[in-house]
Structure 1
Amino acid sequence: MTEARRKRIEDVLKRRQPDLTVLLENVHKPHNLSAILRSCDAVGVLEAHAVNPTGGVPTFNETSGGSHKWVYLRVHPDIAEAFRFLRERGFRVYATALSREAQDYREVDYTQPTAILLGAEKWGVSPEALALADGAIQIPMLGMVQSLNVSVAAAVILFEAQRQRLRAGLYERPRLDPELYAQVLEDWLRK
């Protein structure tokens, strides 16, 4: 490995945001999962979360641009377990939903520990997951369609989170505790 490659890996890792993530509920199309992970990498998400009640998660494809190597994906057995895991770590979970109660996604404070819950491509977030969420958010739509593709919606929301976090200075210093930083660095250097 060249010194330039090692420095790039260290610089990227120093900007990872351990308290920003996505929770994907039954996102079963491989190209959508891959595109979401690519957006996660672009904004500095360390670990994404997924629940797929039909079993397993889809395989990656070329859409990820290799980002699945840099963003860990933790698969949970069910939505309740995923919420338990995130809540134990201090996350607030905001579900994307088409409802009158949903607030504009730009009104959420993403500088706090935040998980963005995105649902299946056709059906969205399940009623169970929506009931568990701390709030519902939506991307205002001014055209004829009701919503964006799940991977596009994830990118839009994640880049708003990045904008807020950049403004708050959260990318200016390492956010991972030293032990976790060392573990991830060792893993990334092997890739």
Structure 2
Amino acid sequence: MPLLPRRFERIQGVLNRRMENLTVLLEHVDKPHNLSAILRSCDAVGVLDAHVVSLPGRARTFNDTAKGSQKWVSLHPQEGTPTALTRLRDQGFRIFGTHLGVNALDYRQCDFTGPTAFVLGAEKWGLAEATANGVDQALFIPMIGMVQSLNVSVAAAILLFEALRQRQAAGLLPTQGEGVAPERYRRLLVEWAYPQVAAWCRREGRPYPALTAEGEIAEELPRTLRLRC
């Protein structure tokens, strides 16, 4: 069945607003509910990539909380937090970690309009000491109740939506795909619109097909493959 034009418009509209320069790094956040909820928030604000460092032997699984958001946010497993921090920093990210330290700032005092990575740990024990010491800026979310911590997925949502608010106020939100590198944009558009075609191309070691402005595949493909599209 061919891709309906309104479906392609929806996919392209979402991709047009994605941001490569806003991300999260999750340290040992392995509970399916929390991981799923964070990816759902990432999708909601336009995050394209998320990163995770899992405990040894822990499989990354999702539950209904994700609402399928794991299909639209690329989750990148990392071998360890120090390596992940180095990679993010090399890519130009400023790294903010949720940690109640003497130098921590109220998150509302921080600038998230530039390349921003939020590092969050499992709510039971937070960030590892080495991780907390390795961020560029520690931050906290003020609370006035008896409990002085939030569920990690709630904390992630607060920070991500603050970054979205700041960028919207500064006129920095992408609207036409400028938040994603052009070649990656073209690749993702095919993968999102035609996942089976993209998988076939990867198996065959061939380039992805071009798409027309209406979202149709602009070249001949095997009939059996077209029938599955």
**Once superposed, what is the RMSD of the aligned Cα atoms?**
1.2
**Corresponding position of 2:125:** 123
Distance in 2 of aligned mates of 1:184 and 1:108: 31
Distance in 1 of aligned mates of 2:150 and 2:73: 23
Distance in 2 of aligned mates of 1:117 and 1:32: 14
- Counterpart among 139, 142, 165 of residue 140 in structure 1: 142
Q: CA deviation at 1:109?
A: 1.0
Q: Give the unaligned 5+ runs of structure 1.
A: none
TM-score by length of 1: 0.96
Moved over 6 A (4+): none
Q: CA deviation at 1:100?
A: 3.2
**Corresponding position of 1:187:** 191
Alignment-mate amino acid for residue 35 of structure 1: A
* Count of residues paired in the alignment: 191
Q: CA deviation at 1:61?
A: 0.8
| Paired residues of 1:20 and 1:113 also in contact (CA < 8 A) | yes
**Corresponding position of 1:78:** 80
Distance in 2 of aligned mates of 1:172 and 1:97: 30
Alignment-mate amino acid for residue 190 of structure 1: Y
**Corresponding position of 1:93:** 95
State the percentage of identical aligned residues.
Answer: 54
| Paired residues of 1:22 and 1:49 also in contact (CA < 8 A) | yes
| Paired residues of 2:95 and 2:116 also in contact (CA < 8 A) | yes
TM-score by length of 2: 0.81
- Counterpart among 31, 49, 53 of residue 51 in structure 1: 53
Give 3-state SS (helix, strand or coil) of 2:24's partner. Answer: strand
Alignment-mate amino acid for residue 101 of structure 1: N
Structure with max Cα Rg: 2
**Corresponding position of 1:65:** 67
Please state if 1:176 is matched with 2:199: no
Q: CA deviation at 1:172?
A: 4.0
Distance 1:172 1:50, change over 3 A: closer
- Higher-RCO chain (CA-CA 8 Å, sequence separation at least 6): 1
Alignment-mate amino acid for residue 46 of structure 2: G
Give 3-state SS (helix, strand or coil) of 1:22's partner. Answer: strand
